[in-house]
Chain A
Amino acid sequence: DAGVIQSPRHEVTEMGQEVTLRCKPISGHDYLFWYRQTMMRGLELLIYFNNNVPIDDSGMPEDRFSAKMPNASFSTLKIQPSEPRDSAVYFCASSLDPASTDTQYFGPGTRLTVL
C-alpha cells in the first residue's frame, strides 16, 4: 500500500519565483494536512482539509501561501512570490477520521531552499 507521496523531494528556487508543492494522500483518507518544519519554529501546521474542503488555515503564514485540494487524491501548496525565509521542509500528512484508531501518516517531505 503506497504511503503519502510528495513531489518534488527537493526544490531550489530564487527569491520571487512561484513554488508549487504537491501531495497525494493515502487512498481513502479523508483528512489532509500540510506542515512546515524549520529550525526556529519546529513542526507547525499550515492548513488541513477534510473531504477536500479547507477546515483550518490559521497556520498559513501570509497571503503568499495558498493551498488547494481539487480532488481526494491531490493537493497543492503554492508560495508566490517565494522568499528566503520560506526555506524549510514541507510535510504532507493524511489520516482517516480522527475518532477512529488511525493516526496521521506523513510523506517524505519536500525540502525547499529559496535563494
Chain B
Amino acid sequence: AQKVTQAQTEISVVEKEDVTLDCVYETRDTTYYLFWYKQPPSGELVFLIRRNSFDEQNEISGRYSWNFQKSTSSFNFTITASQVVDSAVYFCALSELTGANNLFFGTGTRLTVIP
C-alpha cells in the first residue's frame, strides 16, 4: 500500500537559515510521481514540484531544491536562506500511475520562519 511520511510536524527557523523538510514514501509501483505542495496561511494549495520515479536528478529552483533518492525512498525539500514568506504548511504527496490516479498526501510540515 502507498504511504507518505513527513515525520517533522513543525519546524521553526530564524530568517536566512536553511531548512530541510523530510519526506519518505512507500509504494509497490515502479512508476510513480512525487510532489510537493505549499499551503500558506491563506489556505490554498500551491503546486511546487512534480518528479517521476525515473528521474533522480536533483532539482533547484531559486532558493528551493529537491533531493530524490530512490535507494532510501526519500524526496526531501530544502529552502535556502529562508524568508518569512516561506512560512506555511508543506505537503509531500505520491501518485501511482497504476490503480487510482489520486494524490496520497503526507500529514504536512508546518514551517515557521521567524524574522
Contact = CB atoms under 8 A, between A and B. Distances in A.
Interface string B81-99: 0000000000100010100
Interface residues of A, number: 26
A14 interface: no
Contact of B43 (A48, A56, A93, A108): A108
B91 A43 contact: yes
A98 interface: yes
Contacts of A98: 33, 95, 97, 101
Interface string B24-40: 00000000010101000
Contacts of A58: 100
Contacts of B70: none
Nearest to B31: A99
Contact of B45 (A45, A99, A101, A106): A106
Contacts of A91: 45
**Interface size, B (range):** 20 to 34
Interface string A99-113: 101011111110100
A43 B106 CA distance: 8
Given A105-B47, A108-B43, A56 B100 contact: yes
Interface of B: 33, 35, 37, 43-47, 50, 91, 95, 97, 100-108
20 contacts: A31-B101, A33-B102, A35-B103, A43-B108, A45-B100, A45-B104, A50-B101, A55-B100, A55-B101, A56-B100, A56-B102, A98-B95, A98-B97, A98-B101, A103-B47, A103-B50, A104-B103, A106-B47, A108-B44, A109-B43
